[in-house]
Amino acid sequence: MSPIATDLAAAAGWAAAGAAAWTLLEYTLHRGLGHRWPDNAFGREHTRHHATTHYFAPTRKKALAAAPVVLATAAAAALALGPRAGLAFAAGLATAYVAYEVVHRRAHTHGPRGPYGRWLRRHHFHHHFHAPAMNHGVTSPVWDLVFRTYARPGTIRVPEKHAMPWLVDPSGAVRPEHAVAYVVTRRRAPAPAAAAAPGG
């Protein structure tokens, strides 16, 4: 193998390691700052996303928060691994983060394509609507399995106000292709107030 091919293979390996490191960071940020200790900027945005699942923090705000983390990771990795390996590691981490942002948003806005898309939506919406202390990994179940926070989803009961646009037809009914895995729950109308007794 030529020196250039060796360097490229090593860079690809470090980039893959950075992408794998993102999955752990994704899990720990979500579980720790998003749920256990939510009194922070990330936690407040995450709480808002749970309360209004159509809400996502603005991209600019996310980029401003991610940039120092990626730069610090690149600097630390370059010191520990050398400049090329460190930059490849940071590039893999940053690429995986961007992929996570795209995949997470599309889970809410677009229907699944293929087995992974179906799995990811059921896994993630079980977290949203059934068990917020479980299924913190959005893109992978690995760390949920490691830390015993994995819950196998059953039928996903989606509150009407949180129904994803791809899930329901214009009348609000679950589209037939999703009816095996999802149910939309309607809000009950408030009971009529009892009439006051005469002279009461």
In degrees, rounded to 5, the angle at the alpha carbon of residue 129 between the alpha carbons of residues 107 and 23 is 50
* Residues 167, 173: Cα–Cα separation, whole Å: 8
Query: In this predicted model, what pLDDT tens digit does every residue of 131-159 receive, in sequence order?
Result: 999 999 999 999 999 999 999 999 999 99
CB-based burial label for 4 (10 Å; 0-12, 13-18, 19+): exposed
Query: In this predicted model, what pLDDT tens digit does every residue of 15-73 receive, in sequence order?
Result: 999 999 999 999 999 999 999 998 998 899 999 999 998 899 888 988 888 888 888 88
Query: In this predicted model, what pLDDT tens digit does every residue of 84-133 receive, in sequence order?
Result: 899 999 999 999 999 999 999 999 999 999 999 999 999 999 999 999 99
pTM (predicted TM-score): 0.86
pLDDT (0 to 100) of residue 128: 96
* Residues 137, 70: Cα–Cα separation, whole Å: 20
The more confident residue out of 9 and 88 is 88
Task: Report residue 200's pLDDT band, with 50, 70 and 90 as the boundaries.
Answer: very low
Task: Report residue 192's pLDDT band, with 50, 70 and 90 as the boundaries.
Answer: low
Question: 10 Å Cβ neighbour count for 60?
Answer: 8
Question: 10 Å Cβ neighbour count for 73?
Answer: 20
pLDDT at 197 over 70: no
Listing DSSP states for 33-97 in one string gives IIIIS--SHHHHHHHHHHHSTT----HHHHHHHHHHHHHHHHHHHHHHH-HHHHHHHHHHHHHHH
How far lies 148's CA from each of 29, 133, 141, 153, 197, in Å? 16, 11, 10, 15, 56
